[in-house]
Chain A
Amino acid sequence: MRLAAVPSESWRAMALNPLRTGLTMLGMVIGVAAVVAMLAIGQGAQAVVNQQIASMGSNLFLILPGAATSGGMRMGIGTALPLTAADAQAIGELPTVTASAPMTSGTAQLIHASNNWSTLVYGITPEFWAARDWKIDSGEMFSETDVRSAARVALIGRVVAENLFGNADPVGETMRIRNIPFTVVGVLAPKGQSLDGRDQDDTVHVPLTTAQRRLFGMQIPGAIRFIIAQSASLETMDTTEEEIKRLLRQRRRIPPGGEDDFTVRNLTATAEAAAISARAMSFMLGAIASVSLLVGGIGIMNIMLVSVTERTREIGVRMAIGARRRDILVQFLTEALTICILGGAIGAALGVGGAWLAAELADMQVVVTVAAILLSFGFAAAVGLFFGFYPAHKAARLRPVEALRYE
């Protein structure tokens, strides 16, 4: 009853000084808004990376011809001994490898009716699908027979389908790749961007042999551009990498001590690194925003200390007529907490709005979670309690005579 009545005393005091209350609150509003917005943007970035990782397939290696230098630069593909479909097959037979897909690629002009579109065309085997975990929306995957016979069939991405066929169903239709007619056998499910920022929906997949023989003739027959290999599990990744290296050195007759003339890139590790950096960025953004919350808290403490000093006589009067220490403590703590919680609520709303604006204007992906809002809200309340306690305690500890005598 009594403690419930005391807060109304603080609210009255706050209402009497709206400008000061508002400015103090502004510190909290900005702090909480910054935390909520930064967390939303950080978590958005994480979500993007996670989607990319999920879309990539798990435990993958990318094997390229040519040595990797420390700077990550590769010798031109043409200068090195190319990889072949036979290499891919041999890798596929390694004990810890569950799938191995030879691939080749190149850009090509596509034509259907009066529409034309330039995009990346991959030559693949159906085995690739097992590793990539990629759905087909309509139609179906081409078969081993199609690969063997170098059939002119193609799977197209969503973006390609829209640009060439508009709203019509492309399955069964004919289009031209580098002027060679192909039949569209399927449309791929949307997958979004890959880790290197390429739009995976803007691609065409044809049988490897078709690509090799009809589209991108290589100097050396049977040459492919790269191999995608999948390890059985995360734990076998290291073993797989060793096995692949040993096998390729053997097949390519590299003498002991000689440098690899090929590169085995652990895609999962790359993805992991991207995820870690996204997480680090998210954390950094949150930490920076937290500083503004801290500054807001210090602002509250400052104003509360001034307020306690200014109202020393009032505190003395209240004590003389019967306020206990607890009543004074509650009164000033309520003031700090009200500023924080109200400021926190406004800040959370602004933060969500800011994140939404960032999503709209900067085309960023943002993730606003209830947990993030509650977290910054709780943080705001904690800041209020922490920075409000000292001034409130100071007020409550005043001795009645001294407070009354204060000028």
Chain B
Amino acid sequence: MSGASLIRVEGLAKRYGNGGEPEVEVLHDIRLEIRPGEFVAVMGQSGSGKSTFMNILGCLDTPSAGHYYFDGRDAGGLAPDELAALRNASFGFVFQGFNLLRRVNALDNVALPLLYAGIGKGERRARARRLLEEMGLATHAHHLPNQLSGGQQQRVAIARALANHPRVILADEPTGNLDTQTSQEVMGIFQRLNREQGITLILVTHEAEIAGYASRLVRFLDGRIVHDGPVHPQ
């Protein structure tokens, strides 16, 4: 246990409910710490609250109770624009459905976070091009998402997640729509990013094989963490 935690969650709960309907609590009293540079796999059956938890970690959603400290700062006390800035600077998102802008080519998709970071057009382009090269997509820079394969789209999405040198990449079932071989390629990229650049990775998956790339495993069941430990217990 070395160094301060990057992510610290205490007594976190999430409730859904609208109007007269009784509220449903989908996350109960979650307690978790993640240190910089960790590679965490999150598993659990469907509906156990993994995505809900990831959205809160990524500041896309707010908890109903409890605290979430990111890098020592209480995210609960941040205004919407501060959260936007935090997402822009510190998080990279990779989704199961890629979530690329449909009518925008690969290069501009990758450059988009840089636009919201206030970086000039020339540098945006140059950085986006370099990232696409790293993902082996230099020749596909001007393709629209629907002109790319699933694996290529996911690599564009990873390049976009990396654009602002995030500290954390949150990937919710990133290989869910990919075949085995492509999944392995994508996981290879994640592993490299984690090892070579020290980026903290939190990844939701249903497949034990994918979780095997991580070093720590967190398992959810009905809105609670029921297991937290190394992926490969000695």
Chain A residues within 8 Å of B, Cβ to Cβ: 1-2, 5-6, 9, 12-13, 16, 313-314, 316-327, 399-401, 404
Contact = CB atoms under 8 A, between A and B. Distances in A.
A10 B93 CA distance: 23
Given A6-B115, A12-B104, A16-B103, A322 B164 contact: yes
Contact of A325 (B84, B100, B120): B84
Contacts of A322: 84-85, 87-89, 113, 116-117, 164
Interface residues of B, number: 29
A314 B81 CA distance: 18
A401 B55 contact: yes
Interface in B76-98: 80-81, 84-85, 87-89, 93, 95
Contacts of B88: 321-322
B116 A326 contact: no
A400 B103 CA distance: 20
Nearest to A15: B103
A2 B118 contact: yes
B120 A1 contact: yes
B74 to A, nearest CB: 19
Contact of A324 (B55, B101, B116, B120): B116
Contact of A321 (B61, B104, B113, B121): B113
B93 to A, nearest CB: 5
Given A321-B160, A322-B117, A324-B81, 13 more contacts: A1-B118, A2-B118, A9-B115, A12-B103, A320-B58, A320-B87, A322-B88, A324-B80, A324-B116, A325-B81, A400-B60, A404-B60, A404-B99
B135 interface: no
B93 A321 contact: yes
Contact of B60 (A5, A313, A325, A401): A401
The main secondary structure of chain A at its interface with chain B is helix
Contacts of B58: 320
A400 B84 CA distance: 10
Given A16-B103, A400-B60, A323 B116 contact: yes
B112 A318 contact: yes
Contacts of B93: 320-321
A317 B84 CA distance: 12
B138 to A, nearest CB: 22
A194 to B, nearest CB: 65
Contacts of B95: 404
B99 A317 contact: yes
Nearest to B55: A401
A120 B113 CA distance: 83
Interface string B32-64: 000000000000000000000001001011000
B81 A326 contact: yes
Contacts of A316: 99
Contacts of A321: 87-88, 93, 112-113, 116, 160
A323 B84 contact: yes
A321 B89 CA distance: 9
A314 B120 CA distance: 22
A283 to B, nearest CB: 46
Contacts of B99: 313, 316-317, 320, 404
Contacts of B116: 2, 318, 321-324, 327
A314 B101 contact: yes
A12 B112 CA distance: 13
Contacts of B121: 5
A329 to B, nearest CB: 11
B116 to A, nearest CB: 4
A400 B61 contact: yes
17 contacts: A2-B117, A12-B103, A16-B103, A314-B102, A317-B100, A317-B101, A318-B112, A319-B84, A321-B88, A321-B116, A322-B113, A322-B116, A324-B81, A325-B84, A326-B81, A401-B55, A401-B60
Which 7 pairs from chain A and chain B are nearest by CB? Answer: A322-B88, A2-B118, A322-B116, A400-B60, A401-B61, A321-B113, A324-B84
Contacts of A1: 118, 120
A310 to B, nearest CB: 11
A62 B61 CA distance: 83
Nearest to B91: A320
